[in-house]
Structure 1
Amino acid sequence: MNGERTHNMASAEEFGLWIRKLNTTDAPRARVVCFPHAGGSANFYFQFARRFPDLEVHGIQYPGRQDRRHEPFRNTIQELGAEIAQLMGDWKDLPIVLFGNSMGALVAFEVAHRLEAMGNPPLSLFACGRVGPLISPDEKTYLKGKDAFLKEMALLGGMDNALLQDEEILDLVLPPMRADYRLAETYRGSPEKRLSVPIHVHIGNTDPKVTEAKAAEWQFATTGAFTMDTHEGGHFFFTDNSDRLIEAVNRSVEDALTTNA
């Protein structure tokens, strides 16, 4: 019995390291789990989470940053996905929507694939600011020198330009950012890895990395429904322009719950 308590306690501690609750709601209809972009943290979604009064929102905290900065980076997107899915496999008290931005869309996709195999599929997957998982961009940003790497970060936005000039901040931000770029740029999808749940893709119309044609490739990653919406803005369009995206998430939850009722 003592061994069992130790196992459960360790599991709860590990769960809390990876999965951070970002809002409070009395009677949630479903749970939204958010996967950050390269270099991002769970708290990136804090303001986003406040827009869902009847959905419970959690953010994933990858190792190697902030309070997990002393933990080793993972080697592949698949490795990240496997660890997170293992934690979420028995999390069945509420239906789950997976929401990933940029690199986070790939991690969410890997988690969704594993959750389906474990018999706990999500209601849907939202993939923002990312080309389809079968597209392998010929980029090696993670190998670039500091100045070229910072130029890439400035191109995509998502980080205040003043912070890009702060050496102390950069010492904290650059290692996880570079590690995550390596994961995203070396990721290789498989045509056999297809979901059966709906995939909803959202992109910004001025995103310098993600065209409509490349984002539309997500349709080949599921046998279920597929939708794509283009918004005003760039790679991080929903930080300033999230109304339609919020509506889409709520609508997908309502549709799924109605269908499954």
Structure 2
Amino acid sequence: MTANPWIGAYEARSSARLRLFCFPFAGGSASAYRGWSAALPPDVEVCPVQLPGREERFAEPAFRTIRELVPVLAERLDRLLDLPFAFYGHSMGALVAFELAHELRARGRAGPLALFPAAHQAPTVPLLDALSARTDAEVVAYVKRMSNRPELDEYPELLRLLLPTLRCDLSLCDTYVHERRSPLACPITVFGGREDEISCAELEAWRAETTGAFDVELLPDGHFFLTTSRGLLLQRLSCALDLLVR
């Protein structure tokens, strides 16, 4: 596991009965999920996915389309699917997790026991604006607004360094095209922020993507409730994961 560059911020658990693969938001990395293990059930092993173009993989080119990324992910994570598993994906990561679940099914592999998309509208809801086509200044302003972190102004050099990867990630979302397929069979629980720009109707539209159980969990704050409502998110996620490992 530790030799796999696609998994970062990993904490092994010998008692694990289920792996939770966590997929990053645009511009994000595996470190966003650091410390999750301590707040989740002891038999759940958290596996934060580290995509190229960030942190220790900074020198590697980031993927620009989901169509290119997902088959590679299916191959690189294959050896880690020997335990039952679930997927959590935040924002861009929700699309990646969803498409990976379909890719595994297409390959005849067992899929996730549950899918937890967060902070992203259903795949059938088109984006209204191509963020990757905006100027650098507009992209930076968008990130500051969505993350509600004005202190990012203190680190202009860091933002400039992250912009190429962020643009690739935004392109990955902008170029996404939903393919009509049979719904997944696993339960889907969608997490959304009450103050996010994504509407309840856009979250509810995920219902069409599964024949299994479906639920929407709304949390305080905006798009990055992953950080601002971390404790509450992990509490609700723990309850859902407990049901999977019983």
TM exceeds 0.5?
yes
Does structure 2 conserve the Cα–Cα contact (< 8 Å) formed by 1:25 and 1:53?
Answer: no
Aligned to 2:185: 196
Aligned to 2:67: 78
Equivalent position SS for 1:49: helix
Aligned to 1:28: 16
Unaligned runs of 5+ in 1: 1-11
**Structure 1 residues 196-205 or 43-52, which shifts more?**
43-52
- CA–CA distance in 1 between the matches of 2:102 and 2:192? 22
Aligned counterpart in structure 1 of residue 211 of structure 2, from 217, 220, 223: 223
Aligned counterpart in structure 1 of residue 200 of structure 2, from 209, 212, 235: 212
Q: Deviations over 1:127-146 (max 9, x none)?
A: 00000011111211111112
Equivalent position SS for 1:162: helix
Alignment partner of 1:142 is 2:132: yes
Equivalent position SS for 2:62: coil
Please report the TM-score for the alignment, with normalisation by the length of structure 2.
Answer: 0.91
Offset at residue 90 of structure 1 (A):
4.2
- CA–CA distance in 2 between the matches of 1:129 and 1:25? 28
Unaligned runs of 5+ in 2: none
Does structure 1 conserve the Cα–Cα contact (< 8 Å) formed by 2:22 and 2:88?
Answer: yes
Aligned counterpart in structure 2 of residue 179 of structure 1, from 168, 184, 187: 168
Aligned to 1:239: 227
Cα distance change of structure 1 residues 170 and 244 upon mapping to structure 2, 3 Å threshold: closer
Structure of greater relative contact order (alpha carbons < 8 Å, 6+ residues apart): 2
How many residues align structurally? 244
Does structure 2 conserve the Cα–Cα contact (< 8 Å) formed by 1:82 and 1:110?
Answer: no
Cα distance change of structure 1 residues 35 and 92 upon mapping to structure 2, 3 Å threshold: closer
Equivalent position SS for 1:126: strand
Offset at residue 53 of structure 1 (A):
4.9
| Equivalent residue letter for 1:196 | A
Offset at residue 169 of structure 1 (A):
0.5
Does structure 1 conserve the Cα–Cα contact (< 8 Å) formed by 2:9 and 2:33?
Answer: no
Offset at residue 94 of structure 1 (A):
1.9
- CA–CA distance in 2 between the matches of 1:150 and 1:91? 36
Does structure 2 conserve the Cα–Cα contact (< 8 Å) formed by 1:30 and 1:96?
Answer: yes
Aligned counterpart in structure 2 of residue 101 of structure 1, from 90, 95, 98: 90
Runs (4 or more) in structure 1 with deviation over 4 Å come to: none
- CA–CA distance in 1 between the matches of 2:157 and 2:231? 35
| Equivalent residue letter for 2:221 | G
Aligned counterpart in structure 1 of residue 118 of structure 2, from 125, 128, 145: 128
Cα distance change of structure 1 residues 254 and 167 upon mapping to structure 2, 3 Å threshold: closer
Coordinate RMSD, CA, aligned:
2.0
| Equivalent residue letter for 2:119 | G
**Structure 1 residues 18-27 or 211-220, which shifts more?**
18-27
- CA–CA distance in 1 between the matches of 2:168 and 2:117? 21
Percent identity, please: 33
| Equivalent residue letter for 1:190 | E
Does structure 1 conserve the Cα–Cα contact (< 8 Å) formed by 2:66 and 2:176?
Answer: yes
Aligned counterpart in structure 2 of residue 112 of structure 1, from 90, 101, 109: 101
Please report the TM-score for the alignment, with normalisation by the length of structure 1.
Answer: 0.86
Does structure 1 conserve the Cα–Cα contact (< 8 Å) formed by 2:226 and 2:233?
Answer: yes
Aligned counterpart in structure 1 of residue 236 of structure 2, from 241, 248, 254: 248
Offset at residue 150 of structure 1 (A):
1.2
Q: Deviations over 1:134-179 (max 9, x none)?
A: 1111211111112211111111107x43334423212221111111
Equivalent position SS for 2:8: strand
- CA–CA distance in 1 between the matches of 2:222 and 2:155? 24
- Higher Cα radius of gyration: 1
